[in-house]
Structures are given as structure tokens and as C-alpha cells.
Amino acid sequence: MPDGQVAQRKPDASAFVIFGVTGDLAHRLVIPSLYNLAAADLLPGKFCVVGVARNGMSNDELRDSLMKGLRQFATRPVDDTVAKRLLDCVSCVEADPKDPASFDAMRAQLDELECAQDTGGNRLFYLATPPGAFAPIARELGRTGLLKEKNGAWRRLVVEKPFGTDLASARALNGELLNILDEHQIYRIDHYLGKETVQNILVLRFANGMFEPIWNRNHIDHVQITVDEKLGVGHRGSFYDSTGALRDMVPNHLFQLLSLVAMEPPARFDAHTVRSEKAEVLAAIQTQSEADALMNSVRSQYQGGIIDGVEMPDYHKTADVKPDSTTETFVALKLAIDNWRWAGVPFYLRTGKALGLKRTEVAIKFKEVPFKMFACTPVDRLSQNYLVISIEPTEGITLQFNTKVPGPAITIDGVEMKFRYKDYFKVEPATGYETLIYDCMIGDNILFQRADSVEAGWQAVQPFLDAWNKAGANGLEYYKAGSEGPACADELLKRDGRSWRKL
């Protein structure tokens, strides 16, 4: 075990039931993550994987298909012995929520498999399906009693993103699930919380004495959260065109970053306390009027351009995208958090597809010093003080500050102190889902979204959705694929006398 790592306990014996096992998510992420956990000896000693397909498949057919996926998507060379041990645990059952009898039959099959593997009745149902199937599957699992915790056995439901498409639908889905399960049984995934650097925000803030005293409106001028992607929409045209950049990224991924950066210190490092503080800060995001929402947002769509030498067509020429689509592929927002720590500190968020760079970062900009002291020196400007938490492309933390340039005259220049994860820790390449899946199996929901924070997230973005819906094409701007994004995003900060951090 590498230095500094703590031995992790093996999860309880259990059955891992995957709905949507024939799909992309199961092949690309779930099975490769289970493989990595198997390689690290972190799967339960008594374990079975049950793949649920709508059209029957034999166990061998399913195992072959998952093995192909594993070979394609594994993050490290596949050890055939480990892969075989994992795939030997896989069985296929057939069930479709449109056919309730199939769930009764599945229940009997599951009982048999669990008995054979001696898994003690602990079950984790992983919904790797399109979102429209979440509630129908949960209803059938509820009706057949498969989610009922009894005789000390646990039952858990893992729900993938997107959780709702607006505030009303997220509330409705929470309502449906909470009719069937208790909150502690529900694991709403946001894969950003599987990223080490994202988890590290908590440690950076609360395990170091020097940040917390200055982490407030007295010292911080504003916060920038950037998630820029080079990828276009590719083959996801139909999903993306009805979703857009705001829904796809902001209430989930960008708000995870925002809540970790802006939350109050939790009294304890446990799921209830940490998730309560995160929900509190999301609920404190000012709900804007539709007029303010229009003023404090920009939305934009990409037009053809070149990315890494490859031509990217106009967004609206992508397969399954409406030719007159007004869906945004880039969004920038200015948000305010109405509490004592953050009053008056703007949070600027931006995210977009088909940009020239892949970059995910949170940049905390500290207030400027009074310049008068340097008025009688040759110094004509000072560099900005940023603390940058980088998630992509390099995982690490950078502090930018001013320093004297060596020489007789007083000249000042901006320099950087950099910490890069890879310089200190050797980490095996991973999918980013391993910790999340392991945590579901050990029953730790600290890295999962609770109903209240999901709803608080949608509440904060709803005015933007409503205002844009009414505005239609008015206000939609365009940017060139491969560029840094639209000029209107720069204007959003410029009018406050600020600018986005340049690389």
C-alpha cells in the first residue's frame, strides 16, 4: 500500500443489481470501476452482479459484452484472472417496468442468486438507465418489496444524473422516490464528487489553519468557476438539444464546486453535517427575478471552427439537433450568495462545449491592496492574487502573488506557487467512479446529493430557464468552435470592472 494510505474495509456481502446493463454507462464506467475495485481487493467477499436487461440475454452473452467493454474502457491493463473472477459473478435477468410481472419474476430469481452467493439480502440497485426510467423502475422495486430493509439487510438505490429537468420535475422525482425509500437509502450520483481534487476542496479549506480566516467577503473579491470543454455534442444531439449547457452542467457539477467552496465549516465530517452545510449554502443563492436573470447571464451557441486541427461543424448541424435550435452550448452566470460570509462577493460561473481548451478550475480572487505605497516607484501595476483550485487538465493548487524582481530598482512581478498532485502522490489511473461505487457499498452517502440540495440547485437556476424560455432566440449569441467562448461572457465581468482569469 502506498505511503500515507489507510487500509479500507471490505464492503458487506451484497448483490449489485444494474438496470441498463446493456448500455454505455454500464460498459464504460460501472464495470471498469468494479474491475478496479476488484483489483484493489475492495469488493465484498460474497458478491454477485445482476444485470437487468429489457430483452433477455444469456449470462454468457452478457459477460462477453461486458468483457469487450472492459477491454475498451479499462483504465489500466486488464488482468484476466481478476476480470474472470468479476465476470463469473455476473448473471443476467430480464425485467421491464412496463411489464410488472417481470419484476415479480425477477424478485424470485434474485432471491435464488442471493441464496447461492450467500449475500445476506443486502442489495444495491444501480439505475444506469435514461432518466425517464428512474421513477417507473423505483415504483416496481417498491411494489415488489425489493427495496424494503428488513432483518438487518440494507437496500439502496443509486440514481444517475440528470435528476429532473427543472425545479418541478426534480421535486416530483424526489417525491416519488421518498414515497418508496428513506433518504438514507438513496444515492444521487454527481460524478464531480468522485474527483479527488473536488473532494480535496474540503480538506484544503478545513484541514489548514491559514485559509478559513480570510475565506470571506472581507478578503475575497469574487470567485470564478470555469468548466470549459473541447468536446462538442457529438452523438448526444437529441439529449443535449433538449437540455443545454445550463441544465447539463450548472445545478449539478458547477454547484458541487460552488457549495464546497462556499459552505460553512461542518462541525463533523459525516454525511448529515457536510450535506446540511452544502444544502444551506445552495439555498442561500439569491433567487433572481427574470429581469435580473437576463442581465446576469449570457448564453451562446457554437458555430463551426477548428479544434486541435479537426473541423467542428455548427452546433445546429449536429445530428438530432433542430436546425433552428436556440439551445445554449455555453453559459455564464453571475450569482450572489445571501449570507454573512459572502454578501457582496459575486460568484461568476461559466461552462461551454467546443472551446479551445479543456479546463476545470475554481479561481478565488483576493481583494487588491492599496496601490498608494508604490506610487513613487517604477511599479505601475500589481498582479492579481488568485488561489486556483485546478481540476483539469492538471490536478493541483496554485497561489499567485507578487514578488520583487531582483535588481536595484523596485520592480514587481506576479509569480506562482504550484502544487501538483502527480508530483506528490502516485495514483493508479481510475474512472472516477470507484470511490462513489465503493461508498454506496459501505453505506457512506457523504459524496451523494441529498434531496434538499438538488432542489436548492434547481431553485437557483429556474429563473434563468424561465427567462430564456420567454426570450427565445433573443439574447442568444454565437461563438466560434475552438475559441475562448463568446465576447458577451467577457462583458459580464467587464461591466463590474473584472475579467476572467487568463491561463
Q: Catalytic residue numbers?
A: 253
Q: How far apart are CA 76 and CA 80, in angstroms?
A: 12
3-state secondary structure of 396: strand
Stretches 33-41, 224-232, 288-296, 305-313: which one binds ligand BG6 (CB under 6 A)? 224-232
- Residues 156 and 43 sit within 8 Å (Cβ to Cβ): no
Q: Is 333 left (phi over 0), alpha (psi -120 to 50) or beta?
A: beta
> Of 63 and 253, which has the nearer Cβ to ligand BG6?
253
| Minimum distance of ligand BG6 from residue 104's CB (angstroms) | 34
* Residues contacting ligand BG6: total by CB under 6 A: 6
Which of the ranges 39-47, 117-125, 196-204, 223-231 carries the binding residues for ligand BG6, by CB under 6 A?
Answer: 223-231
Rounded to a whole number of angstroms, the CA Rg of the chain reads 24
Q: What angle do CA 170, 167, 124 make, to 5 degrees?
A: 15
* Residue 377: how many other CB atoms lie within 10 Å: 11
Could you tell me which stretch among 94-102, 107-115, 212-220, 226-234 binds ligand BG6 (CB under 6 A)? 226-234
Q: Taking CB under 6 A as the criterion, which residues in 161-180 touch ligand BG6?
A: 161
Please, what is the minimum distance in Å from the beta carbon of residue 386 to ligand BG6? 21
Query: CA triplet 489, 231, 293: central angle to 5 degrees?
Result: 30
- Distance CA(192)–CA(391), nearest Å, equals 10
Which stretch of DSSP H or E encloses residue 197? helix 196-206
Q: CA–CA separation, 400 vs 354, rounded Å? A: 28
What are 142's three cell numbers? 417498491
Which C-beta is closer to ligand BG6: that of 221 or that of 248?
248
In the complex, least distance from residue 31 CB atom to ligand BG6, rounded to whole angstroms: 19
Q: Which residues contact 112 (CB under 8 A, 6 or more apart)?
A: none
Q: Which of 141, 209, 137 is nearest to 173 (CA)?
A: 137
Report which residue's Cβ sits closest to ligand BG6.
248
Q: Whole-number minimum distance, CB 252 to ligand BG6, in Å?
A: 7
248, 395, 439, 455: residue in contact with ligand BG6 (rule CB under 6 A) = 248
* Candidates 139-147, 225-233, 418-426, 456-464; binding stretch for ligand BG6 (CB under 6 A): 225-233
Minimum CB distance to ligand BG6 smaller for 221 or for 361: 361
User: Nearest distance from residue 483's CB to ligand BG6, in Å?
Assistant: 18
**Between the CA of residue 477 and those of 324, 331, 499, what are the distances in Å?**
14, 10, 19
Window contacting ligand BG6 (CB under 6 A); options: 137-145, 227-235, 279-287, 479-487: 227-235
- Smaller CB separation from ligand BG6, 207 or 231: 231
| Sign of the CA dihedral running 133, 139, 143, 148 | positive
CB of 227 to ligand BG6, least distance (A): 6
User: What is the closest distance, in whole angstroms, from the C-beta atom of residue 12 to ligand BG6 in the complex?
Assistant: 29
Q: Measured between alpha carbons, how far is 323 from 335 in angstroms, rounded to an integer?
A: 32
Nearer to ligand BG6, 44 or 162 (CB): 162
**Residue closer to ligand BG6 (CB basis): 38 or 436:** 436
Among 160, 228, 229, 455, binds ligand BG6 (CB under 6 A): 229
230 binds ligand BG6 (CB under 6 A): no
Angstrom distance (rounded) from CA 445 to CA 266 = 15
Is residue 156 a contact partner of residue 124, using CB atoms and an 8 Å limit?
yes
Which 311-370 positions form the footprint of ligand BG6 (CB under 6 A)?
360
Q: Residues in the site for ligand BG6, rule: CB under 6 A?
A: 161, 227, 229, 231, 248, 360
